[in-house]
Structure 1
Amino acid sequence: MLLFAAMTALAVATLPTEEIAAPSLAGDLKGIWTKAPDAAAPIVVIIPGSGPTDRDGNSPLGISAGSYRLLAEGLGAKGISSVRIDKRGMFSSEAAIPDANAVTIDDYVDDIRSWVDVVRRRTGTECVWLLGHSEGGLVALATAQEEPNICGLILVATAGRPLGDVLKQQLHSNPANAPFLSRADAVIDALAAGERVDSADLPPPLAPLFAPGIQGFLISAFSLDPAELAGRVAKPILILQGDSDLQVGTEDANALKAAAPSAELVTLTNTNHVLKTVDPQDTAANVASYADPHLPLEPGIVDAIVDFLASH
């Protein structure tokens, strides 16, 4: 067992990687290409989740779990190539737009289509798999409505409801938010209807959440129903959902599956939003795992993806 673990670690450590770029608005998008030994291997583009989440799955908002890096390494060790990316305006892609907040879901779709084009040209592959984590799953679903050159989708911890509904649930789950919940609900409903709100009139705890600079993005995101989009996708879909996820629940995965009956659904036991194994009864440890880069990825995630790609 120890020898096998050492050999696996060595294989991961020696996987070749290469910086890769794709054109965008004002400057290039940047990412890192992890190459499997077989040049003809399937290739997966990993789309980050919400906010300032980087190519490794980390964020200056206290997340250092390294989930996307671990995922790329795990897939590479199983013979699958990947490209993990920084979103426009952020990190190594900061030159792509002056203001990282001045984006919409349609903008992110344009960027993923650019990545698909670059990956196809660089590798000669016919199609590219899209793996979206959390909000990245919504971007993957929206991209699939427009981009013909994708093999299929891998939706990881992806909401099955409009993101405004998810935000409402998250706010309602905290008793401390009770004094301003009705105002928050009204703001979310307005944004979902395409209407901007005056943040100067909001209670102080809500003002950063609905700041003027991000309302355009929220309007674009709240207007989309992930389940409805999933129902329109004719390509293969894998839905991966941890049953200890504090942000997206198994009900979301079930909603996606109901909308896309041919999709494959894998529920991962004791797995949280950053794809780590946790004690479902220990919320503090679950949250702490978000900042633990040494905690390994739940192994069932890589296995499920490998099996899914092999079957298609």
Structure 2
Amino acid sequence: MKPLSRVLPAAVLAVAVAVPTQATAAARIVPAADHEVTFAVDGTTTHGTLHLPAHRPGHRLPAALLLPGSGPTDRDGNQPPALTPNTLAGLAAALGSDGVATLRFDKYGTGRTGLGAYTGRPEDLDHPAFVRQADAAYRLLSSRPQIDSHAVRLIGHSEGAMTALVVATTARPRPAGIAMLQPQAMRLLDVIARQLHDQLTGAAAAGQLTEEQKQAAILAVDRAVADFRAHRPVDTATLLPPIAALFQALEGVNRRFVASDDSVDPARVARRLPAGMPVLLTCGTADPQVPCDTTDALTTALRRAHTRGPGRVVLPGVGHSLDTSAAPGVLAPSVLAALRDLLRP
């Protein structure tokens, strides 16, 4: 019997051997999936979701750690049952469609994590505990075999943006970039005072307060902030009732956290970022919580630290939840465009 090489032309043999079937090519793609993950930090088991987009076996993916905003905000960016914008879940889905893996987790006091080691003593929780939790999450994400450890970004929303900024100054391996979406860009009590000033000014404009009452209320707020920072009792008798209730809450079980959060000046932290680090900072023109001018000092600090772009991006019509009034609950296209600019290799 003659060898096949003598019966068939060489070109035909090459075609017969080299062309795979469509089924074989499809089998080489690992489908997109969510994976429940846990990690331990400070005696607490933290629960999270690792989303891996569709990829080829052995291919290492770019990734992002997603950090939630203030209060009891869970891994999806929600405070159920009242507030469910799905901010982080929406970001994970959008990034996944672009081939970026994500990790998001239930921080202390939320979801399956709960208070963990702080059960029964929530007054001991402070901002550094949340930073250590985020840093542990970053190390877990960077160590996964499917992840390119040199292509991991930090993406934080609101207070989570400030946490991301702090983590970025010391994280190893060095983050490939950081996105601060509608960030807490000033010290916490300065943010609260600014918001109260704006509300009092609005009340006076609406005829609910006289000009004299407005000025007296603003001075009382400033005194309350100064007393809180000096560890003096806040005289709530001089505050309007809703504002008095707010400061009573700040002085209660939350005092340690508020004081430690307020001790962080984001602009000062930004000066410690490595030169050349890509940074995105967004602010929305429809965001009363983070008006664009409150990010001026942070933006200047980023420039002086010699970070790279995109830098600050102003998002017309975008609110604090990263959506617009025309499409509430849907991530604004301008947000995703800004993120893609940061994530571009």
Q: If the TM-score is normalised by the length of the shorter chain, which range does it land in?
A: 0.7 to 0.9
Do structure 1's residue 303 and structure 2's residue 337 form an aligned pair? yes
2:130 is aligned to 108
Could you tell me which of 254, 274, 289 is aligned with 1:247?
Answer: 289
SS at match of 1:17: strand
Deviates more, 1:237-246 or 1:44-53: 237-246
Could you tell me which of 63, 70, 73 is aligned with 1:50?
Answer: 70
Task: Measure the CA separation in 2 of the matches of 1:199 and 1:30.
Answer: 40
Could you tell me which of 122, 130, 150 is aligned with 2:154?
Answer: 130
1:96 CA drift (Å): 4.6
Do structure 1's residue 211 and structure 2's residue 231 form an aligned pair? no
Task: Measure the CA separation in 2 of the matches of 1:41 and 1:302.
Answer: 19
Quote the sequence identity (%).
Answer: 28
1:214 CA drift (Å): 0.6
Please identify runs of 4+ aligned residues in structure 1 that moved more than 6 A: 199-202
SS at match of 1:174: helix
1:97 is aligned to 118
**Structure 2 CA distance for partners of 1:83 and 1:133, relative to 1, 3 Å:** same
Alpha-carbon contact 1:192-1:223 (below 8 Å) kept: no
Deviates more, 1:32-41 or 1:70-79: 32-41
Superposition TM-score, scaled by structure 1 size: 0.82
**Structure 2 CA distance for partners of 1:172 and 1:45, relative to 1, 3 Å:** same
**1:6-85 pair list within 5 angstroms:** 15-38=32-55, 39-60=59-80, 62-85=82-105
Where in structure 1 are there 5+ consecutive unaligned residues?
1-13, 280-284, 290-294
Alpha-carbon contact 1:21-1:29 (below 8 Å) kept: yes
Alpha-carbon contact 2:34-2:51 (below 8 Å) kept: yes
Deviates more, 1:173-182 or 1:79-88: 173-182
**Structure 2 CA distance for partners of 1:188 and 1:253, relative to 1, 3 Å:** same
Deviations 1:13-37 (A, max 9, x none): x841011112122321111111122
1:89 CA drift (Å): 2.9
Could you tell me which of 216, 224, 228 is aligned with 2:264?
Answer: 224
Aligned residues: 284
Q: Answer with 1 or 2: which has the greater Rg.
A: 2
SS at match of 2:254: helix
SS at match of 1:82: strand
Task: Measure the CA separation in 1 of the matches of 2:123 and 2:101.
Answer: 30
Alpha-carbon contact 2:278-2:342 (below 8 Å) kept: no
Task: Measure the CA separation in 2 of the matches of 1:199 and 1:92.
Answer: 38
Could you tell me which of 209, 215, 228 is aligned with 1:191?
Answer: 228
Alpha-carbon contact 1:199-1:212 (below 8 Å) kept: no
Superposition TM-score, scaled by structure 2 size: 0.75
